[in-house]
Amino acid sequence: MLTEAPAVAADAGKIAIGGKAPMFTTTGAKAGKAYKLSLANELKKGPVVLYFFPKAFTSGCTAEAHEFATRMAEFRKAGATVIGLSADGIDELKKFSTEACQSKFTVAQATPAMIQAYGVGLAGRPNMTGRTSLVVAPNGRVTFVHDDMDYRDHVKLTLGAVQSMARKKG
């Protein structure tokens, strides 16, 4: 469920840095257990990394999830929460949350409305997500966006963004 209109970049339909992130409630999974996930509630804890990925258990998506899991202590030290988002069904995401994510962070369902609001639809497959990572500050503003189907830099760049936020805060 989407609760607010997004700020999108005029040229690409993507969320713009400095714009408000669309708030949503969806079904998430962590350590194999499903639960109701609200972006607004997660932002109360600090910055949130939202990383959209195309398909659980594909090679790039699995490698990306493993890298996020490996670096979770660094994200936590920076005060950040990591949430992976995909159009996969919740049963698939429950398995992915334990296997690829090593039960260290949440993966959640990206609904068609969320995919459209964030401008992250996969070209030619609008109900699937491409690979886009965002950092959302506690005030709901997008502070960082990386849009690249190559998974390799997403973890490093989002970690750098939240570490920079933590340094400025401290």
Altogether, the residues listed in the chain come to a count of: 170
What is the DSSP pairing of strand 81-86 with strand 48-52?
parallel
Which of 39, 48, 61, 145 does the annotation list as catalytic?
61
State the SS3 of the chain. CECCCCCECCCCCCECCCCECCCEEEEEEECCEEEEEEHHHHHCCCCEEEEECCCCCCHHHHHHHHHHHHCHHHHHHCCCEEEEEECCCHHHHHHHHHHCCCCCCEEEECCHHHHHHHCCEECCEEEEECCEEEEECCCCEEEEEEECCCHHHHHHHHHHHHHHHHHHHC
Q: List Cα–Cα distances, 127 to 68, 87, 109, 131, in angstroms.
A: 24, 7, 11, 13
Whether 101 sits among the annotated catalytic residues: the reply is: no
Residues with catalytic roles? 61
